[in-house]
Amino acid sequence: MTESSVDEVASVNLGDSLTAYELTRLHEILDPLLADQQTVQLDLSGVNDVDAAGVQLLLAWIRSARAQGKTVQVKQLSDPLVDACRLLGLLNLILNED
């Protein structure tokens, strides 16, 4: 996971795993951004290991951020993540811009 911030825009690469085993780590990375940033860019290009719980967490976090008036930009989804989102019928919800 890498993170950078410029003028209230945080850019976060969530790494290679988006699974139930990573939920605590993902909360630790993502939740503080809601307090500190107006715009968050999520780079999901490196996600190779993904499951339904990871996708659900991602969608729930995106919805929560947007409900708080934050802007979430989802960038560069990996093929495994796109496939998982399609199977779950959630791809359009993940990609939906503000």
Looking up residue 44, the CATH number of its domain turns out to be 3.30.750.24
Q: How many CB atoms lie within 10 A of CB 58?
A: 25
Compute CA distances 43 → 66, 72, 73, whole Å: 17, 11, 9
d(CA 42, CA 12): 5
Residue 91 has which token pair?
């791809």
Q: Report how many domains make up the chain.
A: 1
Q: What is the pLDDT along the chain (98 residues), one digit of tens a residue?
A: 455 554 578 899 999 999 999 988 888 988 898 888 899 999 999 999 999 999 999 999 999 999 999 999 998 899 999 999 999 999 988 887 54
pTM above 0.85, yes or no: no
Domain that holds residue 44: 2-95
